[in-house]
Amino acid sequence: GRLVIQADETGEAHQLKFDEGALWRELGITGDDGEILDTAQLQSAQDAVFKIEGLTIARSSNKIDDVIEGVTFTLQGEGETVIDIKRDEAAVLDAVRKFVEQYNSTMSFIQSRSSDGGVLQGDTLLMRIAFQLRSDITARVDGAGLAYNQLAAVGISIDRHGTMTLNEAKLREALADDPEAVQKLFAATQDADGFDGVTARLESRFQAWLQAGDGLLAARQKMFGDRMKAIDDSIEQMERRLEIREQNLMRQFIALEEVMAAFQTQAMWLEGQINQLNLMTAASAQRRR
């Protein structure tokens, strides 16, 4: 068998190093100076060195993903090649379709909850969210000189019923005409481009809605929680009052039973007295005859 030792990572910075112990010398891996022997080394640690547009670049791995933005390529060996970068139009169209579907799904959810019969019928917060969402979608993007500064210009529109639709032919036309402008319309950010595209604008809006503690939805949730607690407290107080009332009624009932029992005893005594009086009266009348 043969002992093979290799580093966990590639690149010149990860060259294997051995101490000057006798074990490595006896195994024929290092010499007296502690350096790896050429006869023991199958492959020395090296960086991948290549040129792009005349610029020499070195990387520790053959997989390169930080030279051309959004592009990853793998070095296979020595030689020259031409990198032909094309836009993946199918992926762009699919992403926009999903965006449209998600918008319609969200608006449908809001409508089902806030319309007649919904659990939040007439809730002003939901109506406000729907209005702001639609406004952010349809508003212009403030990019100076941007060829396409509104979703309607690239085939995305909202009808009078609030449903978003996609004209794919118009989107393809915009992508062919100025793909960078379309990209910025959706994905521009204040830090990188000096203005926010549609997705950054929506993200900012969602953060304001969903922020824990003082976000719009958190505040509404707290309001409902406070109301529920107030109702629970009111129910608890009412239950205590009912319990006290029940106890009072029970005492009155017991007292009434005692009075009724005493009254019944008195009535029986009185009835006996009346009967006795009647007998005495009848006997007296007979003697007079």
Tokens of 172: 């393809």
Q: How far apart are CA 50 and CA 73, in angstroms?
A: 12
The pTM score is 0.54
Residue 36: strand, helix, or coil: strand
Report CA-CA distances (Å) from 87 to 73, 149, 279.
16, 21, 125
Residue 263, phi then psi, degrees to nearest 5: -65, -40
Tokens of 286: 């007979």
For 212-227, give one letter per residue: b (16+ CB within 10 A) or e.
eeeebeeebeeeeeee
Report CA-CA distances (Å) from 263 to 184, 249, 260, 270, 271.
96, 20, 5, 10, 12
Shortest CA distance to 109 belongs to which of 94, 124, 95, 129? 129
Residue 166, phi then psi, degrees to nearest 5: -120, 125
Residue 152, phi then psi, degrees to nearest 5: -60, -30
Helix axes 198-210, 179-187, angle to 10 degrees: 10
Q: How far apart are CA 184 and CA 153, in angstroms?
A: 13
Q: Which residues pair with 64 in a beta bridge?
A: 73
Q: How far apart are CA 284 and CA 257, in angstroms?
A: 40
* Conformational region of residue 126, where left means phi above 0, alpha means psi within -120 to 50, and beta covers everything else: alpha
- What pLDDT is attached to residue 42? 44
Report CA-CA distances (Å) from 137 to 133, 134, 202, 203.
6, 5, 8, 12
Residue 69, phi then psi, degrees to nearest 5: -55, 125
From first to last of the 289 residues of the chain, give the pLDDT tens digit: 555 555 556 655 555 455 565 545 555 556 555 555 544 554 555 677 888 878 888 887 788 888 877 778 888 888 888 777 777 788 889 999 999 999 999 888 888 777 776 666 767 777 888 888 888 888 888 876 788 889 999 999 998 888 999 999 999 999 989 988 988 898 888 888 888 888 888 888 888 777 766 766 666 677 777 788 888 888 889 999 999 999 988 988 898 888 888 888 888 888 888 877 777 777 776 666 6
Cβ–Cβ < 8 Å for 153, 138? no
